[in-house]
Amino acid sequence: MESFMKLFMQLMGGMGNTLWLFAVTLVFSLPLGLLLALGRMSKNRILSGIIRIYNLIIRGTPLMLQLIVVYIAPFNIVGFTWDRMTAAIVAFILNYAAYFSEIFRSGIESIPRGQYEAAKVLGLSKWVTNKSIILPQVVKRILPPMSSEFMTLVKDTALASTLSIVEMFTVAQNNAMRNFDLTPLYIAGIFYFAFNAIVEQLFHLAERKLDYYR
């Protein structure tokens, strides 16, 4: 029992880094993703093209590779070294912003142009049109893919172990390898499952709340 409690407390300590990485990634990648989406839809072909290439590179290469590059590249370029957690956070933000930008773009472009024109005929300003008519519909349409990305992010936090960051999976893996026992991995799996169950339920409630936009 004592050994189990010790393991549990170690996993909870690793869970702190998992939650921190998850939260900080969302706080910065969501607005950055929206900016990238707007730039991608810009009539400026150069700007749109650059963002398109960026999204293609980010979505076309493994996050594990991006973690290593973000950590090592500053040293190779300017001789600067930053701590591993900061490097992981930057890599996660850059990665998820690309995915979120495509979700935002698909949601915005799915709204018929006729709604913009109708709002203009009614004399509504662009601000009122976007806030009261377009945004609620976009939010409802992007909730399912956003839910998937949020849940993927929960699991992807385990990749921070690539930079030797001690998060929940690292703790479980080290204990499992040291004791030749799968119990720590089972417990970690339960943590991840519970975390994602909460995320899924929150998105389910949000979708039900927006049902009147159908």
pTM recorded for the entire structure:
0.90
CA atoms within 13 A on the CB side of 172: 19
Question: How confident is the prediction along the chain (214 residues), in pLDDT tens digits per residue?
Answer: 657 777 777 788 788 899 999 999 999 999 999 999 999 999 999 999 999 999 999 999 999 999 999 999 998 888 888 889 999 999 999 999 999 999 999 999 988 888 878 878 888 887 878 777 888 888 889 999 999 999 999 999 999 988 888 888 888 888 888 888 888 899 889 999 999 999 999 999 998 887 755 5
Contacts of 168 (CB under 8 A, 6+ apart): 11, 14, 15, 17, 18, 157, 158, 188, 191, 192
pLDDT in the model for residue 146 = 96
Query: What's the rounded Cα separation, in Å, for the pair 174 and 208?
Result: 41
C-alpha span between 95 and 57 (Å, rounded):
10
Are 129 and 61 in contact, with CB atoms under 8 Å apart?
no
**DSSP letters spanning 174-210:** HHHHHHT-SHHHHHHHHHHHHHHHHHHHHHHHHHHHT
Task: Please tell me the predicted confidence (pLDDT) of residue 1.
Answer: 60
Cβ contacts of residue 25 below 8 Å, gap of 6+? 89, 92, 93, 96, 153
